[in-house]
Chain A
Amino acid sequence: MTENLQLNSDGKLKHFLTIEGLDKALLTEILDTAESFAGMSEQQVKKVPLLRGKTIVNLFFENSTRTRTTFELAAIRLSADVINMNIATSATSKGESLLDTIRNLEAMFVDMFVVRHATSGAAHFIAQHTAPHVSVINAGDGQHSHPTQAMLDMFTIRQIKKEFAPLRVAIIGDILHSRVARSQILALNTLGAAEIRVIAPKTLLPAHVETLGVNVFHNLTEGLKDIDVVIMLRLQKERMTSALLPSESEYFKCFGLTPSKLKIAKPDAIVMHPGPINRGVEIDTRVADGPQSVILQQVSNGIAVRMAVMSMAMQARGNG
């Protein structure tokens, strides 16, 4: 169902809700298109008229700095008009239902919704109910999916490592609550990475995680051996209170990425993090700011990848 909803009758990307159901060719097309836009950032004029006259609404029901800003910049650089809906002060907080909010915005002739919501499946729900000419991009839904983050991570990996086939990738930290990790695992498997490892304490791993096509490690030192790409996840502070972990310092001791731990991985391994980073909780400052860190490159690439997804979706609509 999901795959049909995301693609139009010509197999083009109309909504971008999840990596699930998208094949290697389509993911590669997103990366190649993003490559075109990445060159633009070095131009004097960082703007093209592709989506001129289109209206995009950033619908963020959950806080975000990086994602919302880069979606907004991506839309602006494509010459679209962007509205940022501050949901905390909007009608939703007065009791309006999600569907009513969408219907009202549609009545204002919106072309695209970029949605972040704390509930898994929210973007999917909107895509199912929205008018046929409207595209929906998922900017993170609950613990389900964050496809543009995964694609900007894939873009960054490809930029540096060129190919996925020989790569061993380790994803470290709170896999259980991470929509980013889920999307990354799907994308890495689709793009054909040699091995994906998840490294986390048992309490921060979903049940049957190995069915996602990953190898499971509970020990950072063992898990980092022969690794090309290290992806750190943010440890959400609220998890401490829910008794999943003893303490921050205990966590850092076992799973924090320090310069000496990083030495276990391959010498040319890169370190990634979707942000926001908790220095001294999951990652040592010396690693976060070190020569192997590509964390800020990920942020820059976020703009190009979001431009790619937005322009592809705007082109595919109408052939629903």
Chain B
Amino acid sequence: MNNTPLHISALLSTLEDSLIETISERKLSNPLMIGIRTGGVWIAEHLHQRLNFEEPLGLLDISFYRDDFSQIGVHPNVKPSQLPTTIEGRDIILVDDVFYTGRTIRAALNEIFDYGRPNQVVLAVLIERDGRQIPLKPDCYGARISLQANQRIKLTGPEPLSIYIQSMNEAA
């Protein structure tokens, strides 16, 4: 196994710039930031701090909304989602670490919409990798990466937060 580290602070800065641009383009007003557990929350905490948002970060646990339940089941010790009292009419910035198939975001949107009807949702991810399976895409990203079949992105955190490309040996 071989790990290629990526520059987390550079990625966060690019994502931050891209997000500031999107906030102004989409005219987001008083946006609520929501991180998806676990990696998305770590990224969201950094963005939340960098952008000086006052309203506490929302936390989303999508375990109960996954579409692969019948294959992998429920993991014990799922933590409840923590969303503010109302989602209705809000502008939301949804944050995740890696955008891959799009299924996590599908599940997250379903959960958010169970709580109310937001005005807009913007998706910000640290890395967008190839492998999309449903018609969803991030609005902002820190980098776009194409990976080989034996590669994947690993995030470790929360402190220190680091990210790397893991390459599995072909023989394994």
Which positions in A face B, CB cutoff 8 Å?
12, 29, 32-33, 35-36, 39-40, 42-45, 47-50, 308, 311-312, 314-316, 318
Contacts and interface: CB of A to CB of B under 8 A. Distances in A.
B64 interface: yes
B66 to A, nearest CB: 9
Given A44-B83, A49-B65, A315-B72, 10 more contacts: A12-B73, A33-B74, A35-B77, A36-B63, A36-B80, A44-B115, A49-B110, A308-B74, A312-B73, A315-B74
25 contacts: A12-B73, A32-B76, A32-B77, A33-B76, A35-B76, A35-B77, A36-B63, A36-B74, A36-B77, A36-B80, A39-B78, A40-B64, A40-B80, A42-B80, A43-B81, A44-B115, A45-B114, A48-B65, A50-B74, A311-B69, A312-B73, A312-B74, A315-B69, A316-B73, A318-B70
Contacts of B63: 36
Contact of B69 (A29, A39, A50): A50
B26 interface: no
Contact residues of A: prevailing secondary structure: helix
Contacts of A47: 114
A148 B78 CA distance: 20
Contacts of B70: 314-315, 318
B78 A36 contact: yes
Contacts of A43: 80-81
Interface residues of B, number: 20
Contacts of A318: 70
B76 A29 contact: yes
B144 interface: no
B50 interface: no
B152 interface: no
Contacts of B75: 36
Contacts of B76: 29, 32-33, 35-36
Contacts of B69: 50, 311, 315
A12 B77 CA distance: 17
